[in-house]
Every structure is written in structure tokens, then in C-alpha cells.
């Protein structure tokens, strides 16, 4: 049996590469008894069904977007003494047509074979500079890479194994442990495949059956297996997707827009945590969650913690690579601001600590986004101090209770409050006082690093409009605030933090903004009007800045959103399973984002990389490169002027762009080619 990969390859991959076809079994199609035909002076081969078939269905990629195909044909007589002039003439015509045809790459039809495009010098498919030159024209890059991989598997008699088997053999050879197949590698034929794929993914939009699925999922048990996986995936020509917690808003950690075969490395088994209270530090493996980290620290000390996120099921590996904020950001800054060392697997499969990787790469991984520079294995983090007892409260105010006046005051003081006080606002829709009436509700949630009396003094002085009183306040240990801030019932046992999988799984779309000036009444009213639209389930979450965030320079890490930011705004909406028109909800979020443009940061309009949004730009990988110009569209929104330094680091550590995804930092071969970033003042 040839298998699905070889069957895919022979239907459009060109003759003479994979074997000798003896028979084809073809599908007949119906036609009318009488048909009509006509002849025109150009080829009309595209459109119709050709536009509806995916480029990756078979190796032949020339589908959607093609108006028509052109064939240039010349002929000459048997006795022509100068045939080269005819060949040269058609070459000139071909060159002349360059501006008018599809480029990047300039496509060609393999059955109209043209050796001018490139000729193999030997029988090795991965003589890439030669074969890539013509291969991507006939098949596009993703299809051609798959053909190359199939060629190696089909043409090497000593390696008849499938891709997963080749991978297992390679990993076993290159790691300290042999790979137990049944517990670490899952293919679509495995009964556990779907449950493993779905296990930590939170955005159900990207688990639809129609979306690309990985060739297999690998869940390594040891650091050396991660090293070996990088070596082997490069050797096999497979694209990598890396998952630590599965919370990527656009599903980048477990699906791919690229047509190329891809593999998920899921770090779910790498979750050790080693806490050293005497040194006020901890080593944390990338597969551990925020909740597990909080719990393990609390076992050693009730007055130490780490300034990580409110969502406790976040994987610490990816979370810190985006900066990572939580309820302690005004006191201690970001999670990435409190990292002192790391272990990373680089593109060559080597494990590097801070000293070995150098300060540039160490800078880049602390806020430059995941999946661009290597695979984080461990973070060494600095623990911070918290009181034995802290104070929390939650108060909701509707429009009828003066929400507009209160939130306007919050905007004036949110970034100026005592740095021991974190006070965020979530705006939603609630039932009004009349039956059937809907209104706007603003919920204020706070964590204060002190007792109730101290909190009341600050609130009475700075924010009396909220009307906080003593009975609204609850004192508890810091570890107990995790459940409170996550919206769980008071008294929830802290052991819930060890439940690593998120209970939040839904269809959603999210975007982010940073606000430098209070939003006026007219802006708020338009925002609320959109929230009240029919069938919309949404929340607007405002996270206060100031405090420590205003002290740390923008260039201290790739995360640049520091001084001058009053608060960050997240626009988050969901819809139910079975929704017939999900685009309606996605478009609602996009229109809201467009509406907010006059009230948020500008030039660039800043965004938070951990709230990934492919609407603001995405990489399009062609010819094994990513356009710097395309990447800069989204890169400066996430990183501002830091994007240029990230590109320089990427160019040094991963020049061939192995660690690639839709918003990975691109390499630039000529570093001097980076044009200056125009930064305008708001």
C-alpha cells in the first residue's frame, strides 16, 4: 500500500519522481447529451471548481485567484539553421511578461515543463538552492516541501518507515531517553489524538474539523527529547508548532495557516518547579501553569509569590515570552521583568543558559513573543514579597447607579493610585431595573497589599465616588486571592490551582489597546451602545498601569508599553457552539476596534502580543523567507522601536527562519537594510 502521502504526491507532483504508474482508477463525471463549444484566442482554464479546491488538495497549487493560464509556444522547421533564435525569442517574451503575471513565485505548470526554470544537478531532493528555484514555481513552497519529504521516504529503501516512525527513530538516536511511543507521540490514527489536541486549547474557533491538523503531536518527557525534536524536525523538513498552555488567542500554538505539514510539540509533561526561598528564586519548567507555580511557592512560604497572571491555567513558558502581566504589575512589573535566567533550545538543538545565549537573546525572549527564537525549557524567576494578609473587593455599578461618573474618575486616577493597589474595571451588559431592560454594568475588582483600614484610607482620599465601605472588603492570604480574582467562589480550596486544564473553553475573538488619555463621555457612550447590540456577549476589560510600570524603560525588554499608559483595554466577545454566523461576532469585534481608534494610542496603535490578533498583520512565508515589510506592520504595534532589535537578534540566532509562525519575528539577512522606525508623538 502506498499510503495517503504518496497518493497525494503522484496526483500533480510530476512524472518520474516517485515510481512508475501502471493504472489509474478515475472518477467519471456526467455531461449533457448535447454541449456547445467555441474557440477564443486565450486559455480559459481557471475559475469555477478550480477556485474552490484548496491549493494543498494535490500538489498542483494554481487555484483560487487565477484568472487564466498563458502558454508561450514557438516552433520551427526541421531544416532551420538557427533554432536558438526561436528559443531566445520566446525567452524574451517570457521575460517581457514578468510585470503582468503572478510573482513571488512566478508560477508555472509542470506539464508544460521548462528546464530554463532550473535543472537538478544530482538526485538529492534537498539540494535546496537548485530544486527550490523551479519547485516552488510548479508547486508553491509548502507543497514542494511535502513532495521532497515524500520523495525521501519513498525513494530510500533503507528508510521505509512513515514520518512519525522516522521521527521517533531520530529522536531516540539524538536524546538521552528512548521515546515511549504510546505515551508521547499521537498521530491522527491514534484514539487519543483529538483529546490531546483539544486538551488545553481554549479558543474553540481553531479546533474546527476543517482546519489543518498536525501530522502528529509529540509530548516530550525530558529536555533532551526537546533538543532531539528540533534536530529531527529540521532534518525531516517539518514545520513546528509549540504549545505550553494552549491559550494562544489565534490558535497559533496548535494550528497553522500554512499549507505545509506541521507538528505540535506540547510541553505538557515538562512541569517541574523547584522553589528556593532562601535565594528567593525558583526554576520553573515551561509546561507548568501559573496556578501550579503559585501553589508550589505557597507550600514553602505564605509571604512570597511571583507576579504572574490572573488566569491560573496559563502555561508559564509562553506566558513570559509575551511579557506577562497580573495583579502585581503596578508593584513589581511584568513576569518577564522578574526573570533572572532561562534554558532555551536553539535552532541547532543546543541547550543554552543566560551566559551561553548572551544578553541579546536573553533580552529578546523576555517579551518578544513565543515561537520565534527557540524553545524555552526552564525559567529562573525572582520571587517577590507579599503581606501575610491582603485585601480584595468586588463592586458593580450600573448606569442607573452613576457608572459614567465613576468610570470617568477611575480614568483620572487609575495609574496614579498607590502602587500597592491594583484596581481593574470590567464592563459588560446586565439586566436593568425594568423587565426586559438591558443596561451597562461596570465591575471594579481590587487587590490591595495591606489590610482593610489601609485600603479604605486610600479609596476615601483618591476614589470616594466608588463608595467603598468596610463590609465590601475581604482579607485573605495572597494565595487565596487567585480564586477570587478568577471569579471562583470564596473558600475555594487552593488545591484547584493544580488543575492545569482551563475550564474556560469557548468561541471567542479578542483585541487590545493602550490608552494614554481618558476617554470622553461621547466615546464611552458609543462604546456602550455597541455593547448593547442584540445577541452580543462581550466584555471590555481595563487593566490599570502606572506604579512600577512607569519606572521601567521601554527598551528594558521587548515589551514597550510603559510610561504614559493609563490602562490597557481588552475587547473580548464570545458566541455559542452551533452559531450559524460566527463571522458576525468577529466582525462586531473588528468594528468596535475601528470605532475606538480616536481614543487610543497612535503611531503606532499599540497592542499586547499575548493577546495575539492576526487582524493587525501576519507573515506570508514565500521562498523560505518572511517579508520584513509585512512583519513590521504588526511588529511595531506589539514592540514599537524594540522590533528592530528583535529582528537583529532573530537574524543572528535563526537566520533560516526555522522557528516560524504567522506572527513570528522575521530574520533579515542584511541587518543594515532595517529602515528607521518613524515614531510619532500622540
Q: 579 with 610: CB under 8 angstroms?
A: no
Pairing of strands 304-305, 351-352: unpaired
End-to-end CA distance of the chain: 64
Q: Contacts for 164-173 with beta carbons within 8 Å, 24 or more apart?
A: 164/215, 164/216, 166/232, 166/236, 167/216, 167/218, 167/229, 167/232, 167/233, 167/236, 167/238, 167/263, 170/228, 170/231, 170/232, 170/235, 170/236, 171/218, 171/225, 171/228, 171/229, 171/232, 172/228, 173/228
252, 396, 536, 592, 604 from 206: Cα distances, Å = 9, 33, 20, 22, 29
Closest CA to 348 of 357, 359, 358: 357
Q: Between vectors from CA 598 to CA 595 and to CA 599, what angle results, nearest 5°?
A: 95
Separation between Cα atoms, residue 494 and residue 479, nearest integer Å:
7
> Distance (Å, rounded) from C-alpha 505 to C-alpha 500?
13
Q: Indicate left, alpha or beta for 333 from its phi (over 0: left) and psi (-120 to 50: alpha).
A: left
Q: d(Cα 509, Cα 591) in Å, to the nearest integer? A: 12
ω into 105 cis (within 30 of 0):
yes
Q: Give the burial class of 381: count Cβ atoms within 10 A of its Cβ; 0-12 exposed, 13-18 middle, 19 or more buried.
A: buried
Q: Is the separation of the CB atoms in 593 and 624 below 8 Å?
A: no
H or E element: which one contains 151?
helix 141-155
Q: What does the buried/exposed string (b/e) look like for 242-261 if buried means 16 or more CB atoms within 10 Å of the residue's CB?
A: bbbbbbbbbbbbbbbbbbbb
**Which residues carry out catalysis?**
611
Q: How many whole angstroms separate alpha carbon 12 and alpha carbon 402?
A: 67
Is there a contact between 207 and 248 (Cβ–Cβ < 8 Å)? no
> Could you tell me whether strands 262-266 and 217-218 are parallel, antiparallel, or unpaired per DSSP bridges?
parallel
Compute the chain's Rg from CA coordinates: 29
**CA dist., res. 504 & res. 375, Å (int):** 26
| Nearest by Cα to 608 from 485, 480, 497, 510 | 510
Q: How many residues does the chain have?
A: 682
- Are 333 and 559 in contact by the 8 Å Cβ rule? The answer is no
Confirm if 638 and 617 have CB atoms less than 8 A apart. no
What's the gap between Cα 522 and its chain centre? 34
Q: Provide the 8-state DSSP code for 557.
A: S
Peptide bond into 41 cis (omega under 30): no
Q: Which three cell numbers stand for residue 342?
A: 532561562
Amino acid at each position: 500500500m502506498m499510503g495517503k502521502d504518496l497518493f497525494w504526491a503522484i496526483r500533480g507532483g510530476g512524472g518520474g519522481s516517485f515510481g512508475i504508474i501502471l493504472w489509474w482508477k478515475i472518477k467519471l463525471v456526467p455531461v449533457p447529451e448535447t454541449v456547445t463549444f467555441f474557440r477564443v484566442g486565450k486559455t480559459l482554464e481557471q475559475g469555477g471548481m478550480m477556485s474552490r479546491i484548496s491549493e494543498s488538495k494535490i500538489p498542483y497549487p494554481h487555484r483560487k485567484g487565477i484568472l487564466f493560464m498563458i502558454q508561450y509556444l514557438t516552433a520551427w522547421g526541421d531544416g532551420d539553421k538557427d533554432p536558438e533564435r526561436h528559443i531566445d525569442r520566446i525567452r524574451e517574451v517570457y521575460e517581457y511578461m514578468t510585470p503582468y503575471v503572478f510573482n513571488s513565485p512566478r508560477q508555472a505548470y509542470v506539464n508544460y515543463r521548462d528546464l530554463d526554470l532550473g535543472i537538478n544537478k544530482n538526485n538529492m531532493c534537498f539540494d535546496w538552492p537548485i530544486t527550490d528555484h523551479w519547485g516552488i514555481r510548479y508547486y508553491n513552497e509548502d507543497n514542494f516541501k511535502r513532495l521532497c519529504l515524500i520523495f525521501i521516504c519513498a525513494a530510500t529503501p533503507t528508510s521505509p518507515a512513515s514520518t512519525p516512525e522516522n521521527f521517533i527513530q531520530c529522536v531516540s538516536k539524538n536524546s538521552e531517553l528512548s521515546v515511549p511511543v504510546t505515551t508521547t507521540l499521537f498521530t491522527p490514527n491514534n484514539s487519543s489524538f483529538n483529546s490531546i489536541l483539544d486538551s488545553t486549547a481554549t479558543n474553540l474557533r481553531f479546533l474546527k474539523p476543517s482546519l489543518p491538523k498536525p501530522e502528529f503531536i509529540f509530548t516530550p518527557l525530558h529536555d533532551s527529547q526537546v533538543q532531539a525534536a528540533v534536530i529531527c524536525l529540521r532534518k525531516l523538513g517539518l514545520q513546528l508548532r509549540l504549545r505550553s498552555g494552549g491559550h494562544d488567542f489565534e490558535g497559533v500554538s496548535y494550528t497553522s495557516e500554512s499549507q505545509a505539514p506541521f507538528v505540535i510539540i506540547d510541553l505538557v509533561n515538562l512541569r517541574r518547579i523547584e522553589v528556593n526561598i532562601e535565594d528567593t528564586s525558583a526554576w520553573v519548567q515551561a509546561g507548568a501553569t501559573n496556578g501550579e507555580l503559585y501553589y508550589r511557592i505557597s507550600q514553602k512560604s505564605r509571604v512570597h509569590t511571583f507576579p504572574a497572571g490572573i488566569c491560573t491555567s496559563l502555561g508559564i513558558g509562553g506566558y513570559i515570552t509575551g511579557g506577562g502581566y497580573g495583579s502585581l504589575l503596578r508593584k513589581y512589573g511584568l513576569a518577564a521583568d522578574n526573570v533572572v535566567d532561562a534554558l532555551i533550545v536553539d535552532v541547532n538543538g543546543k541547550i543554552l543558559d543566560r551566559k551561553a545565549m548572551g544578553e541579546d537573546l536573553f533580552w529578546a525572549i523576555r517579551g518578544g513573543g513565543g515561537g520565534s527564537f527557540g524553545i524555552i525549557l526552564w525559567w529562573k524567576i525572582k520571587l517577590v514579597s507579599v503581606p501575610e494578609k491582603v485585601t480584595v473587593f468586588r463592586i458593580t455599578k450600573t448606569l442607573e447607579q452613576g457608572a459614567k461618573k465613576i468610570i470617568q474618575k477611575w480614568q483620572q486616577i487609575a495609574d496614579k493610585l498607590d502602587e500597592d493597589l491594583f484596581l481593574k474595571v470590567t464592563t459588560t451588559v446586565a439586566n436593568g431595573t425594568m423587565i426586559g431592560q438591558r443596561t451597562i454594568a461596570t465591575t471594579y475588582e481590587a487587590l490591595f497589599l495591606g489590610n482593610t483600614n489601609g485600603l479604605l484610607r486610600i479609596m476615601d482620599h483618591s476614589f470616594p465616588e466608588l463608595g467603598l465601605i468596610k463590609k465590601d472588603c475581604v482579607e485573605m492570604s495572597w494565595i487565596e486571592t487567585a480564586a477570587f480574582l478568577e471569579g471562583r467562589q470564596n473558600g475555594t480550596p487552593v488545591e484547584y490551582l493544580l488543575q492545569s486544564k482551563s475550564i474556560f473553553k469557548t468561541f471567542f475573538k479578542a483585541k487590545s489597546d493602550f490608552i494614554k488619555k481618558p476617554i470622553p463621555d461621547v466615546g464611552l457612550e458609543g462604546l456602550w451602545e455597541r455593547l448593547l447590540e442584540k445577541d452580543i456577549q462581550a466584555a471590555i476589560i481595563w487593566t490599570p498601569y502606572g506604579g512600577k510600570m512607569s519606572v521601567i524603560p521601554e527598551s528594558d525588554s521587548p515589551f514597550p508599553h510603559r510610561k504614559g499608559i493609563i490602562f490597557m483595554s481588552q475587547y473580548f466577545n464570545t458566541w455559542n457552539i452551533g452559531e450559524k454566523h460566527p463571522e458576525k461576532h468577529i466582525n462586531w469585534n473588528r468594528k468596535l476596534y475601528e470605532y475606538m481608534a480616536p481614543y487610543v494610542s497612535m503611531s503606532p496603535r499599540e497592542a499586547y502580543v499575548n493577546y495575539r490578533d492576526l487582524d493587525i498583520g501576519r507573515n506570508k512565508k514565500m521562498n523560505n523567507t518572511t517579508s520584513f515589510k509585512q512583519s513590521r506592520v504588526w511588529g511595531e504595534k506589539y514592540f514599537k522601536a524594540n522590533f528592530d532589535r528583535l529582528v537583529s537578534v532573530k537574524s543572528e540566532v535563526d537566520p533560516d527562519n526555522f522557528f516560524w509562525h504567522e506572527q513570528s519575528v522575521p530574520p533579515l539577512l542584511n541587518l543594515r537594510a532595517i529602515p528607521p522606525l518613524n515614531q510619532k508623538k500622540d
